[in-house]
Amino acid sequence: MSKNARYMQRMGELLVFHEIINRPEELTEENFDDTVMAFQEKADILVDANPRWETLWHLQYPWVLQFQKLPFVRCGADKLNGIEGFDHLLLRKDTAEKYNAVRQEVLDRGGVITTSGGKRSLSEKASAGRSATSMHYPGLAFDLALVSGFFKPDTDPFVITRGEDGYWVVWCRADLGDEKELNAVYWEWWKGGIDLEKTVQGKFINFTEICAKHGFSPIRPRKGFTRPENRKYISCEWWHFQANDLLIPELSQFGIELLKIEGYSPEYIRTTSEDVWSRSRVIYQINWS
């Protein structure tokens, strides 16, 4: 199977760390299977040339224990009158740098960023609105304030429209934005359950586009929102953006991302939440997204 350049580079670096090859560029499509099998033999695990959860964990776990740990960083946000939210959020350092770039661009255009939070404590259990492998646990995602859009499109700081493939597009009202006429999607209230649409005019910037520029991606609404009956607003997810740019498809693992964080030792994660630790080996874009 063809692998992209980022995947091959990281795999090469890990194989150098384990002294299987001397330089990352020695790993090629042609010798990939043989090189992976050489590592599997050395690690005394199943030799099948298939770098899935067990192989990736054995490759990355010793490496991440020597990784230069990343602290959580406090980032600013806008707390607006009449809208429930916070004036700051915590994100992992590499994510915080990307978020701050987004925030600066939005502020420069006269917009705001509200928030319902970033980092999620390991002790917060999964629920109808919380995935057990949420990007919030390793501080890789932030939420706009859940009620700063979708209910009052004529005045809300954020207006939501339909994008491609089931994704939302989020627009931010901004003094220096472009004049737009948007077909806003909204509910009448938290438990409204019926998608309504109306035309909204004003000055807007494309918040989703700005986030993409700095490595953040939206997610689709979950089935709790898209099912025909008993629809749950908490599953709408228009507010959620995650730093997919920091992850490598088919290689990055949930537990490895947690272990990159300052103070997050295996013992700390396990004792704080056995449920979270039990999912450590899931792989980005295989069984984690």
Q: What is the pLDDT of residue 129?
A: 66
Dihedral pair phi/psi, residue 90, rounded to 5°: -110, 135
* Whether residue 229 sits in one domain with residue 107: yes
- Indicate the SS3 state at residue 196: strand
**Domain contains 288:** no
Q: Are residues 181 and 267 in the same domain?
A: no
Report if residue 133 sits inside a domain: yes
The β-bridge partners of 75 are 89
Same domain? 59 vs 110: no
DSSP 117: B
Closest Cα to residue 142, out of 78, 186, 233, 64? 78
Give the residue numbers spanning the domain of 48.
5-66+247-277
Asked if 87 and 162 sit in the same domain, the reply is: yes
Q: Output helix, strand, coil percentages for the chain, rounded to the nearest 5.
A: 30, 20, 45
Same domain, 61 and 78: no
| Residues 114 and 80 sit within 8 Å (Cβ to Cβ) | yes
pTM beyond 0.85: yes
Query: Tens of pLDDT along the chain (289 residues)?
Result: 457 999 999 999 999 999 999 999 999 999 999 999 999 999 999 999 999 999 999 999 999 999 999 999 999 999 999 999 999 999 999 999 999 999 999 999 999 999 999 999 999 987 766 788 999 999 999 999 999 999 999 999 999 999 999 999 999 999 999 999 999 999 999 999 999 999 999 999 999 999 999 999 999 999 999 999 999 999 999 999 999 999 999 999 999 999 999 999 999 999 999 999 999 999 999 999 9
User: What integer pLDDT is reported at residue 126 of this predicted model?
Assistant: 73
> Does residue 145 belong to any structural domain of this protein?
yes
Q: Please report the beta strands in 28-109, taking only residues with DSSP state E, as ranges in sequence order.
A: 72-76, 88-92
229 and 114 within one domain: yes
**Count of the separate structural domains present in the chain:** 2
**Could you tell me if residue 68 is left (phi over 0), alpha (psi between -120 and 50 degrees) or otherwise beta?**
beta
Q: What is the pLDDT of residue 1?
A: 43
